[in-house]
Amino acid sequence: MKTKLKIVKIGGNLIDDAEVLATLLKDFSAIKEPKILIHGGGKIATATSKKLGIESKLVEGRRITSAEDLEVITMVYAGLLNKNIVAQLQANNCNALGLSGADANCVQANLRHKEPVDYGFVGDVNHINSAIIQQLLTAQLTPVFCAISHDGKGQLLNTNADTVTAEIAIAMSKYYEVELMYCFEKNGVLENVEDENSVIPKINTAKYEALKANQQIHQGMLPKMQNCFYALKNGVANVVIGSSKLLQSNSTLFTQLSL
Ligand SMILES: Nc1ncnc2c1ncn2[C@@H]1O[C@H](COP(=O)(O)OP(=O)(O)O)[C@@H](O)[C@H]1O
Ligand SMILES: CC(=O)N[C@@H](CCC(=O)OP(=O)(O)O)C(=O)O
């Protein structure tokens, strides 16, 4: 039987709330099994760009990443956010190691095709160095990834954090029974996005199609759920979407995905 591995993704809205983030990182540190954390930070990158007078453009939840945007996101994701998260995990006795996709060649990507939309410096993942990630886990380290990949030829690229998470989860399923947890600012996938009490406990592909047809899911939730099903179809054992409370052992409020 394979050892269990928990992979947790935290979104930018959660990271932006210092109190919620502190509790979440404490709960994450308490997980006994091998674990990996992947963080976004889109909201903070947009706010930082604004301070610098750079306007951000997103199409279908993906950032159109100019050379200037790439500089900002490298500073924000791989620098400020990644290092602060690692320091907080260290304070909770979790031996975290902060990484971008370029470090140890963990996440390699191809520059996305310029058609139909030119996303600039955005990469689609083509290889995860699962062997080195497994070695880090075996050495009792907890990898903490930001959403920056590289092309293997010296170019850093921006990749959506939900996608990096799904790709890492799939690659690690070779060695582990992977449980994938997407944490964001709501309690789960909601029947009505305005009503926090309308969490849908279970969603399979048929229900997903119905929710899409009824326009009950939109914006970032569409690519997030696509990534969930992609992970399930490719060997990830369990995928859930919920709030920061998902990491508390008595949590019952979340959405469980199945094929
Ligand atoms: N049915 C739904 N249930 C929950 N959230 C939804 C739903 N439909 C759309 N959303 C939106 O999806 C967003 C989450 O996607 P995103 O911003 O990409 O998350 P993250 O911060 O984890 O990257 C929520 O903020 C919410 O506004
Ligand atoms: C290509 C692309 O869109 N990359 C994302 C990466 C960060 C991210 O995904 O952050 P959240 O999880 O907080 O949304 C971006 O720059 O916004």
Atom from ligand 2 closest to the CA of residue 77: 7
Longest dimension (CA), the chain: 53
Q: Is 29 in the pocket of ligand 2 (CB under 6 A)?
A: no
Edge-first strand listing for the sheet containing 107-111: 123-128, 107-111, 148-150, 156-158
Provide the residue ranges of all domains of the chain, joining segments of one domain with +. Answer: 3-257
pLDDT at 89: 98
3-state secondary structure (DSSP) of residue 196: coil
pLDDT at 62: 86
What is the C-alpha to C-alpha distance for residues 229 and 14, in angstroms, rounded to an integer?
Answer: 23
pLDDT at 250: 83
Q: Whose CA is nearest to atom 3 of ligand 2?
A: 62
Burial of 259 (0-12, 13-18, 19+ CB in 10 A): exposed
**Can you read off the two tokens belonging to residue 93?**
């006795």
pLDDT at 158: 98
Ligand 2 pocket: which of 43, 100, 158, 181 to mutate (most atoms <8 Å of CB)? 158
Q: Is 186 in the pocket of ligand 1 (CB under 6 A)?
A: yes
What is the C-alpha to C-alpha distance for residues 73 and 214, in angstroms, rounded to an integer?
Answer: 35
What is the C-alpha to C-alpha distance for residues 228 and 257, in angstroms, rounded to an integer?
Answer: 7
Instruction: Give Cβ neighbours of residue 102 (< 8 Å, ≥ 6 apart).
Output: 148, 149, 150, 156
Considering the domain delimited by 3-257, tell me its CATH architecture: 3-Layer(aba) Sandwich (3.40)
Q: What is the ipTM of this complex?
A: 0.98
Ligand nearest to the CA of 164: 2
What is the C-alpha to C-alpha distance for residues 203 and 258, in angstroms, rounded to an integer?
Answer: 6
If the chain, 259 residues long, is cut into consecutive pieces of 10 residues, what is the mean pLDDT of each piece? 97 95 98 97 97 94 94 98 98 98 98 94 98 98 98 98 98 98 97 95 97 92 96 98 92 94
For 240, how many CA atoms within 13 A lie in the half-sphere containing its CB? 23
Tokens 């190691």: give the residue. Answer: 97
User: Do residues 11 and 40 touch, judged by C-beta distance below 8 A?
Assistant: yes
User: Quick one: DSSP state of residue 2?
Assistant: P
User: Do residues 228 and 241 touch, judged by C-beta distance below 8 A?
Assistant: yes
Q: Is 190 in the pocket of ligand 1 (CB under 6 A)?
A: yes
pLDDT at 174: 97
